[in-house]
Amino acid sequence: MTAIQETPKHQKAKALKPGSRRPAKELCSECGLCDTYYVHYVREACAFINQQITQLETQTHGRSRNLENEDDLYFGVHQTMMAARKKQPIEGSQWTGIVSSIACEMLTQGIVEGVVCVQNTKEDRFQPMPVIARTPEDILAARVNKPTLSPNLSVLEEIEKSGMKRLLVIGVGCQIQALRAVEKQLGLEKLYVLGTPCVDNVTRAGLQKFLETTSKSPETVVHYEFMQDFRVHFKHSDGSIEKVPFFGLNTKELKDIFAPSCLSCFDYVNSLADLVVGYMGAPFGWQWIVVRNETGKEMLDLVSGQLDTQPVDSEGKRQQAVQQSIPAYDKGVTLPMWAAKLMGVVIEKIGPKGLEYARFSIDSHFTRNYLYVKRNHPEKLDAHVPEFAKKIVEQYELPK
């Protein structure tokens, strides 16, 4: 006699309608979970309703981060960190294309059957379109950042229905927190997670405002990055690079563009991915790799022959610069462009580099976000801010 298979409870749930208010309300980062029947788990899974990084670190890596070890405190559980770049960069990728290369290898070597990643729509280069890639061409079509909130998890329902058993998901922290929380419900034999750090994301409308306020030619920007030389680098469609110093940004105008989810996020470094590929802990032009566990090592090993690598380094002292930036940001101070340029040049020469630059960026964002949650969602402050972030923020004096 064959056993009658009970339909899992979540399959009876219904995705929320597009545009309807999400359970996390204004803090929703549009991660995509609520666009699927996994909305059934939203109260436990949503990164903005139930912050549970410590428990999920233990579930994923076998331990949570050691708050007494500075590298763990800042960068999360890891086996190794390094700087790397592709010997032959992928044209049109965000940096050198390490993320796309790993995903292509995993697919072509048959390690996974599909890759969750995000392409853009035909009409708009920055409008995210999550897909399950099944060919290297699909993966390459997803290269380069879509610097907007992206519902990557909206394709999860398709995965369970397709019967896929081995999957790679590429995503940012809030997406990966929700993914880890429902991982056991996906019916997979093996899930691989390749993360990028993420900060200061925006809605598509917010992005437009940022481009129009900051770039001389907003309509030709193909990608941009907040670089380690304290400038925003805009790459234009003709290949030219426009550089605007951070200190010259119109803070007053731009304060409202960041999504409330990103102003209350403390998972900059994507704590729950197996492998993280960013740039901020590496020298200019290099990418920063954090191998969190054995699965992450397995993924990185697939491309080791394609990479130049060097050890991570750290130089300078960040604390004073962070402390000074707190009230300046809070009051929305904008320097005249000549002063901003000068300050950028000085800071680039004497300012923090390598891992110290990464700590500078983490400290600046965590202090800003702590103040945001304290002022706008005081009832959430204690449970929502992880212990590691509280410890980082405690180093600074914050305005009321």
Sheet order of strands, 231-236 included = 221-226, 231-236, 241-245
22 binds, among ligand SF4, ligand FAD, none (CB under 5 to 8 A by kind): ligand SF4
Nearer to ligand FAD by Cβ, of 118 and 164: the residue is: 118
Nearer to ligand FAD by Cβ, of 49 and 117: the residue is: 117
93 binds, among ligand FAD, ligand SF4, none (CB under 5 to 8 A by kind): ligand FAD
Among the listed residues 359, 387, 391, the one whose alpha carbon sits nearest the alpha carbon of residue 52: 387
72 binds, among ligand SF4, ligand FAD, none (CB under 5 to 8 A by kind): none
Strand partners, 243: 233
CB atoms within 10 A of CB 89: 14
Among the listed residues 144, 165, 180, the one whose alpha carbon sits nearest the alpha carbon of residue 33: 180
Give least dist CB 28 to ligand FAD, A: 15
Q: Is 322 in the site for ligand SF4 (CB under 6 A)?
A: no
Q: Are 138 and 131 in contact (CB under 8 A)?
A: yes
Give least dist CB 180 to ligand SF4, A: 12
Q: Is 117 in the site for ligand FAD (CB under 6 A)?
A: yes
Give least dist CB 338 to ligand FAD, A: 27
Q: Is 261 in the site for ligand FAD (CB under 6 A)?
A: no
Q: How far is CA 381 from CA 45, 177, 236, 265, 392, in A?
A: 18, 18, 40, 12, 15
* Residue span 143-182 as binding mask against ligand SF4, x where in contact by CB under 6 A, dash where not: -----------------------------------x----
Q: Which of residues 17-76 bind ligand SF4 (CB under 6 A)?
A: 22-24, 28-31, 33-34, 42, 46, 48
Dist CA 344 CA 269 (whole Å): 25
Task: Please give the structure tokens belonging to residue 329.
Answer: 């940001």
Give least dist CB 386 to ligand SF4, A: 17
Among the listed residues 86, 78, 102, 204, the one whose alpha carbon sits nearest the alpha carbon of residue 150: 204
Dist CA 385 CA 154 (whole Å): 26
Nearer to ligand SF4 by Cβ, of 172 and 303: the residue is: 172
Among the listed residues 244, 394, 306, 333, the one whose alpha carbon sits nearest the alpha carbon of residue 97: 306
Q: Which of 36, 60, 287, 364 binds ligand FAD (CB under 6 A)?
A: 287
Dist CA 273 CA 173 (whole Å): 8
23 binds, among ligand FAD, ligand SF4, none (CB under 5 to 8 A by kind): ligand SF4
Nearer to ligand SF4 by Cβ, of 29 and 96: the residue is: 29
Secondary element (H or E) of residue 380 = none
Q: Is 146 in the site for ligand FAD (CB under 6 A)?
A: yes
Nearer to ligand SF4 by Cβ, of 38 and 360: the residue is: 38
CB atoms within 10 A of CB 138: 18
Nearer to ligand FAD by Cβ, of 114 and 278: the residue is: 278
Nearer to ligand FAD by Cβ, of 96 and 295: the residue is: 96
Q: How far is CA 361 from CA 4, 22, 168, 307, 356, in A?
A: 54, 30, 28, 26, 9
Given the rule CB under 6 A, which residues bind ligand SF4? 22-24, 28-31, 33-34, 42, 46, 48, 178
Given the rule CB under 6 A, which residues bind ligand FAD? 93-100, 117-118, 128, 142-148, 150, 152, 170-172, 196-199, 201, 225-226, 277-280, 287-288
